[in-house]
């Protein structure tokens, strides 16, 4: 039982550290710009990834639409 608890506990810490590290990592960036009078940096960072995904989806949809919808 001890052996089973060991591997389980080992897998738990890493899993918790991964999400925890991701949360603090995302918090520091916005916190830093927030502390500095630069709300444009965080705001542009959010739309940047979103716009990139939308732009990537747009061209893809265009290809599909070009087959018939665009015509």
CB 30 within 8 A of CB 46: no
Mean pLDDT, range 32-59, rounded to an integer: 54
Structure-model confidence comparison of residues 50 and 9, the more confident one: 50
Give the CA count within 13 Å in the CB-facing half-sphere of 48. Answer: 7
Is 50 exceeded by the pLDDT of residue 24?
no
Mean pLDDT, range 35-64, rounded to an integer: 55
User: According to the model, what pLDDT value does residue 56 have?
Assistant: 60
**Mean pLDDT score of the chain:** 53
CA-to-CA dists, residue 29 to 15, 43, 51, 52, 58, angstroms: 22, 12, 19, 19, 29
User: According to the model, what pLDDT value does residue 53 have?
Assistant: 61
Task: Read off the pLDDT band of 25 (50, 70, 90).
Answer: very low
What tokens does 43 get? 């705001």
């Amino acid at each position: 039982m001890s052996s089973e608890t060991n591997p389980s506990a080992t897998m738990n810490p890493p899993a918790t550290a991964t999400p925890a590290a991701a949360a603090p990592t995302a918090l520091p960036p916005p916190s830093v710009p927030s502390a500095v009078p630069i709300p444009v940096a965080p705001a542009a960072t959010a739309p940047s990834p979103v716009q990139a995904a939308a732009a990537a989806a747009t061209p893809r949809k265009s290809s599909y639409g070009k087959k018939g919808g665009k015509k």
